[in-house]
């Protein structure tokens, strides 16, 4: 099914459970540590937004760019997707790029975010993972080779609310693959409770 050119033969009738995709970063890499004295804003555990083939524009300047897809299937009875196969393009290879603007969602202070690309590959795929921010080096960038159902994750640190940032995955080698969605979330929380002895 991956890499089909067009038409009904390319329709994906399977519903994909994206929560089962293996993450490319560990929970330690993704987590934000809070102390019990910190303020926790709820609902921190829900995605801020999820960009997909059927939801391509979010709030503010949040949006999607697909680079050289073979097919974008939005009316499937299964999970909508965009499929890709490796070939050279003027921009360096097929891929998915998203822009994200926190202030479009009413966020008013600098914060960290996890950007997750849910993809499925028909064999090993080598991706260049990149991002642009004005502050802090994102976690999870560089060359990654993935295989199967995978969530390619990037962590943005202390992103100012008005900054429009981008995160992208672009194929440099390997098999055909499909992209299902990209979500923007707050990092999972790790709460540290410290033992303090008062003299």
Asked whether residue 156 is assigned to any structural domain, the reply reads yes
The whole-model pTM stands at 0.79
Is the per-residue pLDDT at 169 higher than 90?
yes
Report if residue 63 sits inside a domain: yes
Radius of gyration (Cα) for the chain, nearest Å? 18
Whole-angstrom distance, CA of residue 86 vs CA of residue 67: 11
Task: Kindly state whether residue 1 falls inside one of the protein's structural domains.
Answer: no
Question: Tokens 């937004």, residue?
Answer: 49
SS (H, E, C) 35-49: ECCCCCCCCCCCCCE
> Domain with 82 in it: what CATH number?
2.60.120.260
Q: Does 16 fall in a domain?
A: no
Which distant-in-sequence residues (6+ apart) come within 8 Å of 160 by Cβ?
102, 110, 134, 135
Residue 21 CB neighbour total at 10 angstroms:
21
The pLDDT tens digits of the residues spanning 1-40 come to 444 444 444 555 567 777 777 777 666 665 554 444 444 4
pLDDT tens sequence across 38-87: 444 445 567 899 999 999 999 999 999 999 999 999 988 889 999 999 88
Report pLDDT for 11: 53
How many CB atoms sit inside 10 A of residue 81's CB? 28
| Distance separating alpha carbons of residues 106 and 108, to the nearest angstrom | 6
- Domain span holding position 101: 47-190
**Using one digit for the tens of pLDDT, what is the confidence trace for 81-113?**
999 998 877 677 899 999 999 999 999 999 999
Tell me if 82 is assigned to some domain. yes
Residue 4 lies in a domain: no
In a domain, 27, yes or no: no
Q: How many CB atoms within 10 Å of residue 96? A: 24
- Has residue 186 been placed in a domain? yes
**Domains of the chain: total:** 1
Vertex 184, ends 180 and 187: CA angle to 5°? 125
DSSP sequence for 138-183: PBS-EEEEE-SEEEEEEEEEEE-TT--EEEEEEEEEES-EEEEEEE
Write out the H or E segment, with its range, that includes residue 28. helix 27-30
């Amino acid at each position: 099914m991956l890499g089909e050119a067009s038409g009904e033969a390319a329709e994906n009738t399977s519903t994909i459970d994206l929560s089962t995709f293996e993450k490319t970063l560990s929970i330690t890499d993704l987590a934000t540590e809070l102390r019990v004295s910190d303020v926790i804003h709820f609902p921190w555990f829900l995605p801020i937004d999820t960009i997909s083939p059927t939801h391509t524009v979010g709030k503010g300047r949040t949006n999607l760019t697909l680079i050289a897809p073979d097919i974008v299937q939005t009316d499937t009875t299964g999970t909508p997707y965009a499929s890709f196969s490796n070939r050279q393009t003027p921009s360096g290879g097929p891929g998915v790029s998203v822009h994200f603007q926190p202030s479009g969602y009413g966020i008013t202070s600098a914060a960290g975010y996890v950007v997750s690309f849910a993809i499925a590959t028909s064999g090993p795929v080598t991706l260049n993972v990149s991002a642009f921010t004005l502050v802090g080096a994102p976690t999870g960038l560089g060359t990654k080779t993935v295989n199967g159902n995978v969530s390619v994750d990037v962590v943005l640190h202390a992103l100012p609310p008005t900054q429009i940032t981008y995160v992208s995955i672009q194929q440099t080698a390997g098999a055909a693959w499909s992209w299902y969605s990209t979500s923007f979330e707050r990092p999972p929380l790790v709460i540290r409770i410290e033992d303090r002895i008062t003299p």
